[in-house]
Amino acid sequence: MSERIGFIGLGHMGSAMAGSLLKAGYSMIAYNRTAAKIEPLLAQGASQASQPAEVVTPGGIVITMVAHDRALETIVAADGFLEKLGQNGVHLSMSTVSPATARAMSELHAKHGSTYVAAPVFGRPDAAALQKLVVCVAGASAAKERVQPILRALGQTVFDFGEEAAMANVVKVCGNFMIAAAMEAMAEAMTLVEKNQIDRSAFIDMLSQTIFAAPIYQNYGKMIAEKRYMPAGFELVLGLKDINLVLDTAEQSKVPMPFASLLHDRFMTNVAKGRGDIDWSGIAQGISEDAGL
């Protein structure tokens, strides 16, 4: 690949995604606040930056995969980042952030001649490592066309939601709400069958092979049935962040979402009990406790 990519954010997802791009033949310069996380990528041929702006090639492509809105805002505000990206540069933001932040980022980049493209993903780190993510993309057409090879190197499918970057983030936060809702429903049902002396795994195996034959029920269902919440593919505290994004977006859109409020309390209770670092499917642990298990 002729174009060098700047990559910022090497958590569980970011590291797997960056590794997939290196396998696909891209050259890369990477930055992470905790520098030690870059070491595996250096062995695969990446270069290391000491600050965010160092990953930027004028007029080039920078990918960010960070935990929350504040981290994204800090990166973009870093000395020289927007100025160096400049005319024709593309910031491909693959993080789960609020639609409001995506709108603000789009306007800010446009003032510096660059383009902000939102491309949040569905999938856990193992899917990222296998280049099987589901990508939601939105932004200016020319910039989306330019990053298509990158998206295809990361995901098995790419879905386009138009010219406004924020639309991809609306889709993402709504999708994460649906995943959390499914986990809540599965956990409640499995707790009920367990209290009636029925094997949790047998129950979800039947349903995930028949009327709920979908990856969310098959994968998270197995984890919840086995009460296996470590190691975390996606931490519970980040699940709370995403439910807050859903509720914020709903409030701005004047859409009541009572079940999202229930999920917020479920996540918050588990975080308050010191479980923020377990997998977000670990909300099921609180349900078991409520039932005396």
Instruction: Please tell me which residue in 172, 222, 254, 273 is annotated as part of the active site.
Output: 172
Q: What is the DSSP letter of 290?
A: H
Task: Characterize the bridge pairing of strands 27-31 and 90-93.
Answer: unpaired
Consecutive H or E run containing 229: none
Q: Residue 5, SS3? A: strand
Q: Residue 9, SS3? A: coil
pLDDT at 2: 65
- What are the CA-CA distances from residue 220 to residues 61, 168, 223, 248 (Å)? 34, 24, 5, 26
172 is catalytic: yes
pLDDT tens-place values along the chain, 293 residues long: 568 999 999 999 999 999 999 999 999 999 998 888 899 999 999 999 999 999 999 999 999 999 999 999 999 999 999 999 999 999 999 999 999 999 999 999 999 999 999 999 999 999 999 999 999 999 999 999 999 999 999 999 999 999 999 999 999 999 999 999 999 999 999 999 999 999 999 999 999 999 999 999 999 999 999 999 999 999 999 999 999 999 999 999 999 999 999 999 999 999 999 999 999 999 999 999 999 99
pLDDT at 36: 87
Token reading at 26: 């891209």
Considering the entire predicted model, what is its pTM?
0.94
The CATH class for the domain spanning 170-290 reads mainly alpha
In the chain, what are the domain boundaries?
Answer: 4-163, 170-290
**Strand ranges, E, within the chain:** 4-8, 27-31, 47-48, 61-64, 90-93, 115-118, 121-122, 133-137, 155-160
The dihedral through the CA atoms of 170, 94, 128, 136 has a sign that is positive
Measured between alpha carbons, how far is 280 from 239 in angstroms, rounded to an integer?
6
The CATH class for the domain spanning 4-163 reads alpha beta
